[in-house]
Homo-oligomer: A and B are copies of this chain.
Amino acid sequence: MKNLIECIPNISEGRRAEVVSAVQGAALSAAPGVLLLDSTSDSDHNRSVFTFLGDAPSLLAAMTALVGAAIERIDLRSHTGAHPRIGAVDVIPFVPIRGSTTAECVALAKELGAVLGERFGLPVFLYEDAAQAEERRNLATIRKGEFEGLEAKMAGPGWIPDFGPATPHPSAGATVVGARTFLVAYNINLGTSDKTIADRIAKTIRHLSGGYRYVKAMGVFLEDRKLAQVSINMTNFEKTPLHRVFETVRSEAERHGVSIVGSEIVGLVPQAALLAAAEHYLRLEAEPSGQVLENKLLDLAFQEEE
């Protein structure tokens, strides 16, 4: 298990279980060496997030098959959901895990981008560490205007894709592919149904409006629970930790007379992100990861393989 890369495709389908299952299955059968670590569907967002683990050649095959299966089944012209998106397969990031590098992930992103453009006539934008221009690093910038605004956006200046045709795929839009560090998706649920409060709190914590450097956030209304949610992407949990963002959200919510009723991590999270919270709140004088029993085991396991 060397040169391990994590790959987290986000597809614009979180309601039709049979579609989610077909897309997931296509990836797995195309590359038996690829492992599915997690699969999470959200019907409010109408979006599913898969976490795959594998080496570069296996992930290339798996993602090609996944995109093929998704564009056959997902038509963005009739898609609704709380989460912004420009594509049936909205974004495919590669993340270096153990024994692999950012450079390998960037190379893999470019390889996949070329295949998707050629085989499916899908425009592909490279982002984050794979971006070929500084203004394309940011996913939100690429996604701004969403699927509905994509045709006009690509017709204007500066949005020729890195791979594929210069116009959107009619039903599948475009796909953003890239390499980045581990992203923690973290949502905080408020004791109110007033989405404007979640919007205002999101503004206070996100980088774009003067908040934390490694935070992206927006307000969302959860139909099923009738709750407002601050939906957060933590793009560097080491430099901007979860507990700091949580405390700021708590303080801002209080100012509106609202409490935090819960929070959720979507998908996987590195142990360090949660240990940092325990360390903070318990006021531990030493970083505890070296004392965690399971880490001794992990060390042993990977030592033995080398």
Question: Which A residues contact B (CB, under 8 angstroms)?
Answer: 1, 4, 6, 35, 37-38, 53, 97-98, 182, 189, 242-243, 246, 260-265, 267-271, 274-275, 277-286, 288, 291-298, 300-302, 304-305
Contacts and interface: CB of A to CB of B under 8 A. Distances in A.
21 contacts: A1-B301, A6-B293, A98-B294, A182-B293, A243-B282, A246-B283, A260-B283, A262-B283, A262-B284, A263-B283, A263-B284, A265-B291, A267-B291, A269-B293, A271-B294, A275-B278, A277-B282, A294-B294, A298-B298, A298-B301, A301-B305
Contacts of A301: 1, 297-298, 301-302, 305
Contact of A268 (B98, B282, B285, B293): B293
Contacts of A271: 271, 292-295
Given A298-B297, A298-B298, A269 B283 contact: no
Contacts of A1: 297, 300-301, 304
Given A277-B278, A297-B35, A300-B35, A285 B189 contact: yes
